[in-house]
Structure 1
């Protein structure tokens, strides 16, 4: 299995672990999302100081507005965090 395949499998396993706690097994409730963020992305939360900010983040992630985060919406979160943490700015090519 390649590194990318392992990473994708890890994302799915993490999502499934937290999604299985309450509600539907194929989506994260607001509580499950908060728990996942607190436990798995503590560096992200260092700048989020209150529940209102967490609610705003959840609502921004909930693209289809069903009050749950599905795997596709979760992947968007992970991608956004990766871009912020690793820098996704396109470098201008010189030539």
Structure 2
């Protein structure tokens, strides 16, 4: 039996590889694959965004080696950053509720 954290790690890996390799390298996300992943898996995050260049900006920020693709390590950075941002948001909400 796996733990919830192990399940979460497995899910991250499966999601990445579900979208990667459709347009090229199996171990990387192209910009189109990244956009599909973000649109399908982070619908609440993207629904409030009005910037038509958001995916381009995310791609540029994540692509640390500038190969115009996002590898798994770069993808995990996105997930970690979004998780931290969500945690910060919820902490702020809790502070507001205390007042």
Give the TM-score normalised by structure 2: 0.82
Mapping for residues 30-69 of structure 1, pairs under 5 Å: 30-69=31-70
| 1:51 partner SS | coil
RMSD: 1.6
Contact 1:48 1:54 survives alignment (8 Å): no
User: 1:84 maps to which residue?
Assistant: 85
Unmatched 5+ stretches in structure 2 = 92-99
The farther-off stretch of 69-78 and 47-56 is 47-56
Give the TM-score normalised by structure 1: 0.85
Unmatched 5+ stretches in structure 1 = 90-95
The structure whose RCO (Cα within 8 Å, separation 6+) is larger is: 1
Mapping for residues 5-44 of structure 1, pairs under 5 Å: 5-44=6-45
| 1:65 partner SS | coil
